[in-house]
């Protein structure tokens, strides 16, 4: 599984459509300060479902949309598509290639697509569970992140090992089941109260 390509339109400093092809191996992005190298990494995080504006170096989520220059109007929409090679089916889909797309409008409305089908953020997150690729996984290691991993809290390090060992999917499912149980208990209590009143 590897990142095959990335396409940006209207994302941060990229008002025109930009396509990047990645080979299986090392790719370096080189350029002067402020040319947009980190914006490309932000685009990868964003399309994988990043919700933290701080992580994306933006004040609010709409700030990822190209906000114009002296001679160019701001855009109303930003779009990022990412294609992952899935020949070995590490992602639980039959397709040899998986395309994920996220779009955001100035109104704040966000859309996600998986192989051209409209999906929810939850579906994108589930797709990457236990693959090491999720937005909070260790597939993106920025300056200082290695130090952070080495010195972070034991629980944070444990998260990384759990993801690598393939158990985080079950933890999330178990948390979801626990929440449902609490809701069911509350419903039962409510029904019992109503029954008592009726009697």
Annotated binding site for ATP: 32-39
Strands 110-114 and 97-105: antiparallel
Contact 51, 39 (CB under 8 A): no
**Closest separation in Å from C-beta 10 to ligand ATP:** 9
43: DSSP letter: H
Stretch that binds ligand ATP, among 61-69, 107-115, 150-158, 174-182 (CB under 6 A): 61-69
Q: What are phi and psi of 148, to 5 degrees?
A: -60, -40
**Closest separation in Å from C-beta 106 to ligand ATP:** 11
CA distances from 38 to 32, 53, 169 (A): 11, 14, 29
Q: What are phi and psi of 28, to 5 degrees?
A: -115, 140
Known binding residues are: 32-39
Q: Which is nearer to ligand ATP, 58 or 93 (CB)?
A: 58
Binding mask 80-119 for ligand ATP (x = CB under 6 A): ----------------------------------------
Q: Is 53 in the site for ligand ATP (CB under 6 A)?
A: no
């Amino acid at each position: 599984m590897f990142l095959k390509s990335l396409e940006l339109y209207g994302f941060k400093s990229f008002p025109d459509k930009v396509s990047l092809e990645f080979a299986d191996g090392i790719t370096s992005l080189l350029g002067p300060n402020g040319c947009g190298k980190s914006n490309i990494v932000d685009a990868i995080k964003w399309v994988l479902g990043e919700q933290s504006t701080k992580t994306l170096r933006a004040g609010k989520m709409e700030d990822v949309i190209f906000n114009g220059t002296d001679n160019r109007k701001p855009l109303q929409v930003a779009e990022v598509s990412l294609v992952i090679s899935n020949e070995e089916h590490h992602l639980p889909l039959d397709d040899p290639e998986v395309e994920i797309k996220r779009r955001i409008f100035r109104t704040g409305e966000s859309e996600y697509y998986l192989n051209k089908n409209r999906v929810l953020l939850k579906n994108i997150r589930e797709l990457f569970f236990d693959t090491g690729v999720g937005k909070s996984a260790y597939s993106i290691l920025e300056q200082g992140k290695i130090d952070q991993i080495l010195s972070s809290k034991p629980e944070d390090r444990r998260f990384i090992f759990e993801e690598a060992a393939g158990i985080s999917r079950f933890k999330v499912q178990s948390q979801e089941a626990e929440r449902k149980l609490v809701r069911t208990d509350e419903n039962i209590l409510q029904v019992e109260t109503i029954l008592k009143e009726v009697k």
